[in-house]
Structure 1
């Protein structure tokens, strides 16, 4: 089946006619209601439990999202096309699965341009499957949602995060008239609160601590005001609530007063970020009401993947997706399930709810049906219209697929996989994770086991076979580049019992493996691992990595008593992969995975500060930083170890 390339003309446009017969017998053509505007709001890393829609949080405040829900339909089973951002974003714009468009990892900000997925024929000995190389740019051959709107007479504007490639793959080459702030990176440049570090986008000098979401909403308002007399497509892809974790100080201080240590959602910084995100939604709704165009505007609200429950902030995890299992970068529900709301006055019942299964790739074909616009000849969609669900009907036999052929080292997940949801059942195929290179399976009934604790694959083999045949059909139809059996795999280096705990025997994520004695020169009190070297040019600690598992460790001059610490690291990287921080205490052996935190490192060549919180039960002896998983250079400008009372126990001093 052919994937659509850019066409010339549309087969139909949304401009229905009403034929009127006058008293003299003349026939007059009159257009009916004007074309509806469309506002698509995509939050970044917003988890299923990060709003007040489902009764899963008492800490966060999202009154404007509730206000939006009161105008339309809320979906409790809305899924992103991927547990990571860029693949989902490409699916929103194309209606295609990551298995087909090939963007399966968030690498679109990296320098290397890859337009076709590349299979791998081998891998390290601790992996049973190879990992394909992801496409790194949204190819301009695709006829995007924005181009469809533009060809149908809509003004088109993109505001916020893009992460699908810089020029010539920016929003301006994909059908948008306007792109603000025209930033290709994976998150806000530098911080959420000004001053920012965007290349050509400065904060308002009259608002020195301007929040990026306040500014993006302000820019979106100006776009709506300018095009109030014509149909518009507003694509507002929020930076919130992706790392780095910072927010308005006054709000953080207010939430700090209400922290419940027993609540898994207890980060005041993250709560403040949620509120600023919600404010932006309110600003858009206020503007639609003020301009008196709300009744002629379709609104879609969703998230690009599950909540980030692995990065640390305020001495705890950023958020919790409970009762769902896992989070961002995992194939469990917490990685792919999030809130979604559809609003269309006069068509969708206000305040309604649906438990039908929907996915990001459904948005494009759904809007085509709502607007009575035909797809292009030979246009392919992996998503399908959910209009029946919007009218309160069932989506009989609908299945959705999540293709994630990667192995991020986060707790709760490791192997490259693909899943299918159909009805109450979910099947995960783990590529080549079984005996003799065969696939392995996890089967869950989400109606009775929303937390995915009971694998029923052995109990229901016929259902596994049935659902797996749907997976195979999808992969064949999408011509997916798949993981292959790894000829280098050594089963003795893989411990199945530790799967889901981000620990592999002999693997890069397990510091307990036997390592050669660390080599390389100690610099400023830091000892490099065997796959990197340290130097100190220009007042920075430079890590030069050859790949695999670069790290640097520092033993403190004396044990530090305390129960809570935050390690602040300011660095610039052109490497790749997740970062990790380890700590060692008097009651522990060598660095190990039980005392570690994963870090979503931005390898975009810009300087970022990371704050990793952790707690200890005995005096702290040493810390270790694993800044990446790949080759490249990481320039560390500052390292600080701060106690819970604000005392700085250690600070990097070059020249020691």
Structure 2
């Protein structure tokens, strides 16, 4: 009788679009995989339409490439320029400045307090009946229990709370010049298995797996969650690898056997970390297939931002964002343009295996996941209450690549305290003042106190000559004709600068601290 009812349901929705038919039957499982510091030129699928060939050699990633080529590659998905702001925006659907994550990580205390009241995606999904499991890197608050994953909606979490750790001994890595000031927060063991026991969170620290590479451990944990999953409920599996983030500690057996096309030894060691992540992704896919879950799973892959490029910086391990400019911690394209794709079993032939040019931001992943989890029959018109998200990714999956027209890339509305993470590679990095970065259609504007910002030791090359408009420095690029941000056209487009600057100032009214004008 049940089988006939299912058949009748399928017959009744046969004229609907594939996604609508699919959602009428069941809410999908969702697998969200995040790579850590993966550069644009560090994976094969991201740049094939442009014919770009990395002079450094592209790591072997057959499982990710194959899945991307069977899904929809996102050529214009943007993130924030650092780990925590990207994760915060993804989890809340809000731009990072609204969360108090103006410029950097939430390892330090105040940002945690700013964002503690915001409801996380994991909590939303748990309330919709999902089993929610997290594996890998958290980096969204840990000092108090209420900031930790199992208090944010996760049924279980296995991994590290902080931003980076040694891959074999699983100890947090100290920033070289922060040791004296923040030493009590660095160098400790940071590997945890937390789970829900009824209404209580059980927090445990594990040292049983010391000596095993973190990528291997995260893969095993993800596979275990799939094998143990009760299929009467949908699954949200959040896999946040710490690869290929520093420190450069690859599996030496992969270095010896793989990526032999890469001549540079350092690059090959970096590539091994990317390849090991890809191997893990392949194991996760196999686990889904073995349990007949893949045909009911949407897969989202994203890098949290571009690779770190400055060799003198503690975060550099050999990544590449070519052909784009600069990298991690900057808001040039190389720092915020993410290698990303979406795979879904119901993609039609006009979408499957294509690249979307739709402009999108990581907050739109929040919108997408909430839409899919609700199994909505009108995904284009439905509005998600997440403030900054859009329907751009939902439309792209249906073949509409119009995208969003605006992204606020960053807003620093007040100088940050000198004792916070305002200096990155060395204590001499200038403190950032007030500035904003916004994208509007093909234009991208940097506006504000850019003189100090442009002298940061995070930049691999000098900024183009600054133009001053209304007393503030401006850099304006037309990314349609200048995607690599070489020519500042602010002087000849004052009207565009003024329009986009007004948009930044309007956003600043909602900032935790007002823009100083």
Partners of 2:11 and 2:82 in 1: how far apart? 52
Q: TM-score, normalised by structure 1?
A: 0.59
What is aligned with 1:452? 485
From 355, 360, 363, the equivalent of 1:361 is 363
User: CA offset at residue 177 of structure 1?
Assistant: 0.6
Partners of 1:95 and 1:318 in 2: how far apart? 31
Aligned length: 425
User: CA offset at residue 392 of structure 1?
Assistant: 1.9
From 474, 477, 480, the equivalent of 1:441 is 474
Which whole-Å deviations, capped at 9, do the CAs of 1:284-337 have from their partners, x for residues lacking one? Answer: 1111122111111111111111111124699x9622211111100011111111
What is aligned with 1:579? none
Contact 1:162/1:237 (<8 A) preserved = yes
Contact 2:27/2:372 (<8 A) preserved = no
What is aligned with 1:638? none
What is aligned with 2:278? 278
Contact 2:94/2:363 (<8 A) preserved = yes
From 377, 397, 419, the equivalent of 1:390 is 397
What is aligned with 2:446? 428
Which SS does the other structure have where 1:136 is aligned? helix
User: CA offset at residue 479 of structure 1?
Assistant: 3.1
Task: Quickly say closer, same or farther: Cα 1:64–1:19, change in 2 above 3 A.
Answer: closer
What is aligned with 1:221? 223
Q: What 5-or-longer segments of structure 2 have no aligned partner?
A: 1-7, 13-22, 172-188, 192-204, 417-421, 452-466
RMSD (Å) for aligned C-alpha atoms: 3.2
Which SS does the other structure have where 1:473 is aligned? helix
Which whole-Å deviations, capped at 9, do the CAs of 1:579-608 have from their partners, x for residues lacking one? Answer: xxxxxxxxxxxxxxxxxxxxxxxxxxxxxx
User: CA offset at residue 160 of structure 1?
Assistant: 0.5
Which whole-Å deviations, capped at 9, do the CAs of 1:181-220 have from their partners, x for residues lacking one? Answer: 3x321113xx21357643522354xxx7522111111111
What is aligned with 1:98? 96
Contact 2:131/2:235 (<8 A) preserved = yes
User: CA offset at residue 430 of structure 1?
Assistant: 2.8
User: CA offset at residue 276 of structure 1?
Assistant: 1.1
Which SS does the other structure have where 2:25 is aligned? coil
What is aligned with 1:143? 119
Partners of 1:233 and 1:73 in 2: how far apart? 20
What is aligned with 1:202? 207
Task: Quickly say closer, same or farther: Cα 1:378–1:421, change in 2 above 3 A.
Answer: closer
User: CA offset at residue 75 of structure 1?
Assistant: 0.8
Contact 2:37/2:243 (<8 A) preserved = yes
User: CA offset at residue 481 of structure 1?
Assistant: 2.4
What is aligned with 1:342? 342
User: CA offset at residue 393 of structure 1?
Assistant: 1.1
What is aligned with 2:407? 400
Which SS does the other structure have where 1:428 is aligned? strand
Larger RCO, structure (CA 8 Å, separation 6 or more): 2
Which structure has the bigger radius of gyration? Answer: 1
From 34, 37, 42, the equivalent of 1:45 is 37
User: CA offset at residue 240 of structure 1?
Assistant: 1.1
Which whole-Å deviations, capped at 9, do the CAs of 1:89-139 have from their partners, x for residues lacking one? Answer: 1111100001211122444233xx32xxxxxxxxxxxxxxxxxxxx13574
Which SS does the other structure have where 1:49 is aligned? helix
User: CA offset at residue 170 of structure 1?
Assistant: 0.5
What is aligned with 2:246? 243
Partners of 1:34 and 1:394 in 2: how far apart? 26
Task: Quickly say closer, same or farther: Cα 1:228–1:400, change in 2 above 3 A.
Answer: same
User: CA offset at residue 266 of structure 1?
Assistant: 5.2
Which whole-Å deviations, capped at 9, do the CAs of 1:326-378 have from their partners, x for residues lacking one? Answer: 10001111111111111121136321210111111111122223344689999
Which SS does the other structure have where 1:69 is aligned? helix
Task: Quickly say closer, same or farther: Cα 1:255–1:397, change in 2 above 3 A.
Answer: closer
Contact 1:194/1:203 (<8 A) preserved = no
What is aligned with 2:194? none
Partners of 2:449 and 2:230 in 1: how far apart? 50
Partners of 1:402 and 1:444 in 2: how far apart? 14
Contact 1:72/1:342 (<8 A) preserved = yes
Q: TM-score, normalised by structure 2?
A: 0.74
